[in-house]
Structure 1
Amino acid sequence: MTSSVSASTLPGVLDGAKKGSAPGLVVAGGGPKLTHAQLTEQIESVGAQLRSFGVKPGDLVTLAFPNTIEFVVAFLAVARIRAVAAPLNAAYKEDEFTFYIEDAKSSFLVVPKEGVPNAEAAAKTLNLPTLVVSFPSLEEGVKVAGKSGDLDAKKEEVKDAGPLPEEDDEALFLHTSGTTSRPKGVPLSHLNLATSIRNIIKTYELTSEDRTLIVMPLFHVHGLMASLLATLSSGGTVVLPAGGRFSASTFWEDALAHQITWYTAVPTIHQILLAKQKTAPVPPEKRPTLRFIRSCSSSLAPAVLEKLEAEFDAPVLEAYAMTEASHQMTSNPLPKHGAHKPGTVGKATGIELAVLDEQDRPVPTGEIGEVSIKGANVTKGYKANPEANKVAFTSGWFHTGDRGKLDSEGYLTLTGRIKELINRGGEKISPIEVDEALLAHPAVSEAVAFAAPDEKYGEEVNAAVVLNSNEKVTGEDILAHIKDRLSAFKLPKKFVPLVALEVDSEVYELL
């Protein structure tokens, strides 16, 4: 790492050389480990290897991996050489890979040594060169090879990773989608990512003493930014799950073995851990002491938050994030800095936030409008999508498409997506409000309200529910419990029973 590295780039915020022999990446279950300094060495080495295969600054590189050391090194190496990393879910079907690779205009596909058949088939159809990353041993280091002999034959000798990136260089490319639109491409610069990382570190006061266990997939901005990059940048330790995927059965064993101090997840994973605790409870002495638990990426019902705090004896801090903002926008604070209010997503963290009316004017405190933000973490715009940019970026604000309200202390409560409101005969109903009422029923473990066509009202409220194990209640029982919480027009008219998720099911495809 040279002295000219910009503090507003990924190499700048990571700066592993300065963190030396402190543990950086650890694979649970006795897997390999890398100190921060070793991680930096591997990033530089893989960066040089990628350049030798012809990866150039500005090239977009698609990555399809589970949560492994190989992915972390490959991702950071791509960004290090001023190329653009585009991680995708390795569980996608071939047609999905084809769409995302083609839409992003990718130049290379990178996969682990065991391969990703659907991604490789898509790459073959698109004539995209495929590279393989492996980690045979620490002595040999992380290796890059061509999937075909032709690529290895064309490999040129390159001695280093080349010039360091600059803050305006694009580093990450992800897709996001609304409820009615095709996926939109979101380019994020080194400055965007570095700013968001600093905001996350400041919010939770992350230090080199912190250790987190990755449960979110790293192709998702939540896991990538909050779990991985913020922890590494603070000098802390990232524990990767054995096999590269979350398992509720080994979570607390791994958490205790590595003495993690916090973790972050979507509500689905929190609920899976709560469900596992009912069937195979882990006593407090077999769990580490957590500073906090973070929840993000979808609404966490207050009833679930209370269960988490009671069961795992740690404050649960709900946050609010979007891909366009390089993840975090708001969060409930650590207890010593103020109340964490169930049902809210906290206060703005390093950004400017406003709730605006249709003329982009701030609404009075307590009134509902569109949540809008400004900040150096926000993308400059969607890729090749002028229509979407025209809607989302106006008057200097990024319009999230979410409805919400601010209280007198600046805490934000989300009331639903603008396009997801259920319109029942002119009455606008937030699905989130119905979800929270349903989840307050002791027999309900998961719930989601949605609009269903109705001849009389145009749309009617329906709900899908998952019951706790061995619970037997009817729709009438649930309605009787929630009718004091919701107006009559908001009550679901039909319930769709769903089977509970298995606690070790593959949840990545749900995210």
Structure 2
Amino acid sequence: MEKLTLTGLLKKTATDFPNNRALSVSGKLDLTHSQLQQLIDEAASLLVASGINPGDVVALSFPNTVEFVVMFLAVIRCRAVAAPLNSAYTDEEFEFYLSDSESKLLIVPQEGIKSAQAAASRLNIPHVTATLSVSDIPKIVLSSKPDSSPESVAALVNDPSDVALFLHTSGTTSRPKGVPLTQLNLAASVSNIKSVYKFTESDSTVIVLPLFHVHGLMTALLSSLLAGGAVALPAAGRFSASTFWADMIAYKATWYTAVPTIHQIILERHCSKPEPAYPKLRFIRSCSASLAPSILSRLEDTFGAPVLEAYAMTEASHLMASNPLPADGVHKAGSVGKPVGQEMAILNEQGIIQGVGEKGEVCIRGLNVTKGYKNNPEANKAAFQFGWFHTGDVGFFDSDGYLHLVGRIKELINRGGEKISPIEVDAVLLSHPGVAQAVAFGVPDEKYGEEINCAVIPREGSDIKEEDVLVFCKKNLASFKVPKKVFITDSVPKTATGKIQRRIVAEHFLAQISMAKVPKFGA
């Protein structure tokens, strides 16, 4: 394993399954593994001709397109570092991420991204566009039109220690931290993912998550390609509930992965506009945020497939734990499964490993884990202690070795000395038949130090009120866990991947607490 690179693994797959479909755009394009590999090598030679050297950071800002996939893999093929960026960032956000990553080049789609290009110009970073030409033989064209030579890439040998991917943490509790991930980190992670879900060349999926995020990139895209399987990208370059199942059927999908918010959207779509038929799936995967047991049950009952919840972080190149496939064990609702591919322990504040049922901080170490944040000694000192990476999550192992998460250390609600898990409150709220989405959070309180509030998004057609929610909570939660205030709204702040940010939700509703009507957020 220690000599493996992601680039090497994908080249072997292209040799083993040259004619298998690898990458599609709904209704527009199909590429085999050998065609994709050829595009990657040609694009890598264009980058070398553009002056990109090993170790240089190349920022990429695209929707979910073939151009992004090819350019991402081309960047790491020429031993440079890919830094995917959300195309919805503001000018100021682009300036921060481009500066913090020390990007040497920005690549955007043919239509351009004005905010990204403006930020790059202010930082004197060159920017070019990348376009897939399909008039005859598919090829990538850069707007700078460099003179490339295939031999320039053939002479480059990828090394496991090469930093290949540079991402930032979500920054929900602090300033975003830069996470460098090596070829070995990525190779170890995709191998772990392929193993636990038993991906083969027969598997196919439709990508619903943005590829600038580690969840969609590592599990949906790269692990599928590693297995010789296939992925399809929605024609619009992003998730669409109205076309999702048609794409899944058209491309004979065997599974999909998403965040809880998207699962809930898919369920709501089924309730309002059910499909005539649904594909037979091996499994449905959920990750990046806690999935309430009630939502898990509804997914399984509705679509007839096991729902496997997983636990992941950017610092671990994504996957850390997962519930198993039914043939390999029980997939437990309320747990995030067993560790996958690395060591995991529950440590107390002194770094002592806790026993079964004892709560503490979830810590990991393994080949998929970053060696440390970029230029952030303070964060490294806090996160890397006793030979382990400290995740900041609180959890415990049950007697079967399954991990149960209680919450983030900074998100636990301390009400008069009682440590309350907002995840537990979320689960109860989401079990109400009139609730589509919900999030609990702590707010300052003079008497108890902190109190529990929550925001609730009703299901379509529901007229649920605050008092209905409170009555339900009193029946299903201990009295000290019942929210003091319920905000009925139509949306809450989320990250670009659909993860709810408790801290930002709390800040928003605290600011609006004196208003009679909670304002709507933009989509």
TM-score (norm 1): 0.94
**Bigger shift: residues 450-459 or 372-381:** 450-459
Q: For 1:270-349, what aligned pairs fall within 5 Å after superposition?
A: 270-283=263-276, 286-349=277-340
Quote the Cα distance in structure 1 between the aligned partners of 2:135 and 2:340: 38
Of 191, 197, 201 in structure 2, the residue corresponding to residue 198 of structure 1 is 191
Shift of 1:12: 1.4
Quote the Cα distance in structure 2 between the aligned partners of 1:134 and 1:177: 29
Quote the Cα distance in structure 1 between the aligned partners of 2:478 and 2:2: 55
Quote the Cα distance in structure 1 between the aligned partners of 2:3 and 2:89: 35
State the partner residue of 1:221.
214
Q: For 1:30-41, what aligned pairs fall within 5 Å after superposition?
A: 30-41=27-38
State the partner residue of 1:166.
159
Q: Are 1:357 and 1:363, in contact at CA under 8 Å, matched by a contact in 2? A: yes
Q: For 1:8-47, what aligned pairs fall within 5 Å after superposition?
A: 8-15=4-11, 16-28=14-26, 30-47=27-44
Shift of 1:288: 1.1
Matched, 1:142 2:139: yes
Shift of 1:451: 1.1
Which runs of no fewer than 5 residues in structure 2 stay unpaired?
500-523
State the partner residue of 1:494.
485
Matched, 1:51 2:48: yes
Q: What secondary structure sits across from 1:39 in the alignment?
A: helix
Q: For 1:343-382, what aligned pairs fall within 5 Å after superposition?
A: 343-382=334-373
Q: What secondary structure sits across from 1:43 in the alignment?
A: helix
**Bigger shift: residues 455-464 or 211-220:** 455-464
One-letter code of the match for 2:84?
Answer: P
Q: Are 2:185 and 2:367, in contact at CA under 8 Å, matched by a contact in 1? A: yes
Change (3 A) 1:18 1:140: same
Shift of 1:159: 3.1
Quote the Cα distance in structure 2 between the aligned partners of 1:500 and 1:122: 30
- State the percentage of identical aligned residues: 55
Of 221, 237, 244 in structure 2, the residue corresponding to residue 244 of structure 1 is 237
Quote the Cα distance in structure 2 between the aligned partners of 1:508 and 1:419: 21
Matched, 1:104 2:101: yes
TM-score (norm 2): 0.92
Cα shift readout 1:34-73 (whole Å, capped 9, x = no counterpart)? 1000011000000001111111110000000011111000
Quote the Cα distance in structure 2 between the aligned partners of 1:142 and 1:496: 52
Matched, 1:184 2:181: no
Quote the Cα distance in structure 1 between the aligned partners of 2:450 and 2:37: 55
Quote the Cα distance in structure 1 between the aligned partners of 2:281 and 2:25: 20
Cα shift readout 1:341-390 (whole Å, capped 9, x = no counterpart)? 00100000111111111111111201110000111000000000011111
Quote the Cα distance in structure 2 between the aligned partners of 1:165 and 1:102: 26
Shift of 1:145: 2.3
Quote the Cα distance in structure 1 between the aligned partners of 2:170 and 2:255: 29
RMSD: 1.7
Q: Are 1:216 and 1:508, in contact at CA under 8 Å, matched by a contact in 2? A: no
Shift of 1:509: 6.0
Which runs of no fewer than 5 residues in structure 1 stay unpaired?
none
Q: What secondary structure sits across from 1:244 in the alignment?
A: coil
Shift of 1:429: 1.2
Q: For 1:259-278, what aligned pairs fall within 5 Å after superposition?
A: 259-278=252-271
Q: Are 1:91 and 1:509, in contact at CA under 8 Å, matched by a contact in 2? A: no
Q: Are 2:77 and 2:158, in contact at CA under 8 Å, matched by a contact in 1? A: yes
Shift of 1:423: 1.6
Quote the Cα distance in structure 2 between the aligned partners of 1:117 and 1:474: 43
Q: Are 2:259 and 2:497, in contact at CA under 8 Å, matched by a contact in 1? A: no
Of 202, 215, 223 in structure 2, the residue corresponding to residue 209 of structure 1 is 202
Q: Are 2:4 and 2:160, in contact at CA under 8 Å, matched by a contact in 1? A: yes
Q: Are 1:10 and 1:80, in contact at CA under 8 Å, matched by a contact in 2? A: no
Quote the Cα distance in structure 2 between the aligned partners of 1:367 and 1:443: 35
Quote the Cα distance in structure 2 between the aligned partners of 1:269 and 1:509: 9
Change (3 A) 1:144 1:227: same
Shift of 1:25: 0.4
Shift of 1:138: 6.2
Quote the Cα distance in structure 2 between the aligned partners of 1:124 and 1:8: 37
Shift of 1:156: 4.7
Cα shift readout 1:311-346 (whole Å, capped 9, x = no counterpart)? 111000000000000000000000011100001000
Shift of 1:485: 2.7
Quote the Cα distance in structure 2 between the aligned partners of 1:507 and 1:307: 24
Quote the Cα distance in structure 2 between the aligned partners of 1:186 and 1:500: 30
Quote the Cα distance in structure 2 between the aligned partners of 1:366 and 1:507: 32
Provide the aligned length of Structure 1 versus Structure 2: 495
Q: What secondary structure sits across from 2:236 in the alignment?
A: helix
State the partner residue of 1:451.
442
Quote the Cα distance in structure 2 between the aligned partners of 1:418 and 1:230: 31
Matched, 1:127 2:120: no
Shift of 1:179: 3.9
Of 474, 484, 499 in structure 1, the residue corresponding to residue 465 of structure 2 is 474
Quote the Cα distance in structure 1 between the aligned partners of 2:346 and 2:171: 20
Q: What secondary structure sits across from 2:369 in the alignment?
A: coil
State the partner residue of 1:423.
414
Q: What secondary structure sits across from 1:419 in the alignment?
A: coil
Cα shift readout 1:421-459 (whole Å, capped 9, x = no counterpart)? 112222211111110111111111110001122222222
Q: What secondary structure sits across from 1:483 in the alignment?
A: helix
Change (3 A) 1:308 1:138: farther
Shift of 1:164: 2.2
**Bigger shift: residues 177-186 or 389-398:** 177-186
Q: Are 2:213 and 2:497, in contact at CA under 8 Å, matched by a contact in 1? A: no
Q: What secondary structure sits across from 2:142 in the alignment?
A: strand
Q: Are 1:467 and 1:500, in contact at CA under 8 Å, matched by a contact in 2? A: no
Shift of 1:225: 0.1
Shift of 1:278: 1.0
Change (3 A) 1:509 1:350: closer
